[in-house]
Amino acid sequence: MKKIFNLFDFKQKVDYKTEVLAGLTVALALIPEAVAFAFIAGLSPLTGLYAAFVMGLVTSIFGGRPGMISGATGAVAVVIVALSISHGVEYVFATVILAGLLQVLAGVLRLGKLIRLVPHSVIFGFVNGLAIIIFMSQLDQFKTVNEAGELVWMTGNSLYLLLGLVLLTMFIIWGLPKLTKMVPSSLVAILVVFGIVVFLGLDTRTVGDIASINGGFPPFHIPMVPLTFETLALIFPYAAIMAGVGLIESLLTLNILDEITETRGRSNKECVAQGTANVLSGFFSGMGGCAMLGQSLINVSSGARARLSGIVAAVSLLIFIMFGADVIELLPMAALTGVMIMVAVGTFEWASLRTFRRMPKSDVLVMVLVTLVTVLLHNLALAVLIGVIISALVFAWDNAKMIRARKSVDAEGVKHYEIYGPLFFGSVQAFNEKFDILGDPEEVIIDFSESRIVDMSGIEAVNKLTERYHKQGKTLHLRHLSADSRRLLSNADAIIEVNILEDPTYKVVVDRF
């Protein structure tokens, strides 16, 4: 057994009881989510459940973050719903496979490290928005269909019963850890409420009222689509968006769990695992998916830290589908609703609200905007992309204002410009305004010891400045350029002609005319 665990990178000490109980809790919480997301995508419930099993099993074994749970998700469902309605499930399976291949390619190319570009304000906004979505999705359980076939809010005894069971579930989850942490409080809450409903014969909505989860082992199935360029042109945009959404949500979830557990996952390995899981999901009749923050937090808060809990969750889910559907369908939705509301409460970064007065206004704006886009559009990838772009623009604007120049003339009549701050596209205009070309002496030195040339715009600015001094018959020297700045200049011979003179003290770089 130890050899098997070491083979799959199980290096941490495993608490088997905690892992198994956490896995069972997650499996129960996966069922209504997978069914709901399948409905959102216009697919059968088993399509979502099969995806949850395949995604959960593969990523738990080969993923880059022990304890992280993957399955069918709302973000993926929103992407593929239009394709599902217009072209059918076969095209969805083909899209999931192609999306998986793109994710594997991203991992092989080591693009997972790009998640480092996501600022903390964006992560706060993403997490808060996701918490609000999780909470709002549970409100549907408080609605019912009236005689006219309209969805309306519950009233009377049915509402009071549901509300009481939900509050009881939440109270157990909140209070039990204060007494003992021997068993996951979420699992205890589900079992207690289940026992009360069955023993007292209470009339409340169950999992079976949503849909039947009875099925067999996921069937292997090659998507029945024409292997033509037209098919590729049709599914590629959906696959690309699905791959991007899946990786963003998965890698952000990985980062959040890293902070909670004070360990470090492997982003590129997770990209490959997510891609492999989606490829297999497409071949085994699943709708695909990605990491699930809510279920991952249930898992981690239950004490799981190893890969075993995710494996147990996936295998348990399959056992429920194949052999235990009749029992699982009796689970009251009130218990699962209470669990997910507590997940939403735990997911929300309440500390972010207390930092509003201390955070820069730009970060507060980004955080709020990402939250709103996440909640209103349910498009996590778009929300994160908008947040990153705004943060990058704010950063560029702030750095553009940082460039300064200290001017002096030495005893030999040579004028010195000491530049402070980065020279890049945003600061080029301010840089050019620092120089008095007509009024400067015959020899000028620009000292970059406190600055660096960052990009092509910086190179072009130096080139233009050199030409302007040359037209006035004056000599310009560049001094103390950093190694990367010298490399940029030496690689731009077609734009600016430079001659690096090895000065033993100053490493002067002199422009040659």
pLDDT of residue 416: 92
Same structural domain for residues 416 and 505? yes
pLDDT of residue 496: 44
**Which amino acid would we find at residue 114?**
L
Last residue of a domain, one of 327, 342, 363: 327
Last residue of a domain, one of 296, 327, 358: 327
| Token digits of residue 479 | 């001094």
Same structural domain for residues 277 and 145? yes
Q: In 114-155, where does DSSP find H-type helix?
A: 120-138
Residue 483 lies in a domain: yes
Q: What is the DSSP string of 339-365?
A: HHHHHHHHHS-HHHHHTTTTS-HHHHH
305 and 138 in contact (C-beta within 8 Å)? Answer: no
Residues (pLDDT < 70) of the chain are 1-12, 489-513
Same structural domain for residues 323 and 410? no
CATH number, domain at 437? 3.30.750.24
Cα gap 356→336, rounded to integer Å? 33
Cα gap 243→175, rounded to integer Å? 40
pLDDT of residue 183: 76
pLDDT of residue 395: 87
444 and 469 in contact (C-beta within 8 Å)? Answer: yes
pLDDT of residue 284: 96
Same structural domain for residues 311 and 411? no
Helix, strand, or coil (residue 447): strand
Same structural domain for residues 416 and 294? no
Total tally of structural domains belonging to the chain: 2
Residue 361 lies in a domain: no
Residue 181 lies in a domain: no
| Domain containing residue 484 | 404-511
Same structural domain for residues 319 and 219? yes
Same structural domain for residues 125 and 7? yes
Strands 290-291 and 151-153: unpaired
Distance set, CA 144 to CA 132, 150, 153 (Å)? 22, 8, 6
Last residue of a domain, one of 327, 345, 380: 327
pLDDT of residue 449: 87
Same structural domain for residues 287 and 148? yes
| Residue located via tokens 């997911």 | 347
Residue 47 lies in a domain: yes
pLDDT of residue 500: 40
Burial 357-393 (b: 16+ CB within 10 A, else e): eebeebbbbbbbbbbbbbbeebbbbbbbbbbbebbee
Residue 340 lies in a domain: no
The string of pLDDT tens digits covering residues 191-222 is 899 999 999 999 898 888 877 888 999 999 99
The pTM (predicted TM-score) of the whole model is 0.73
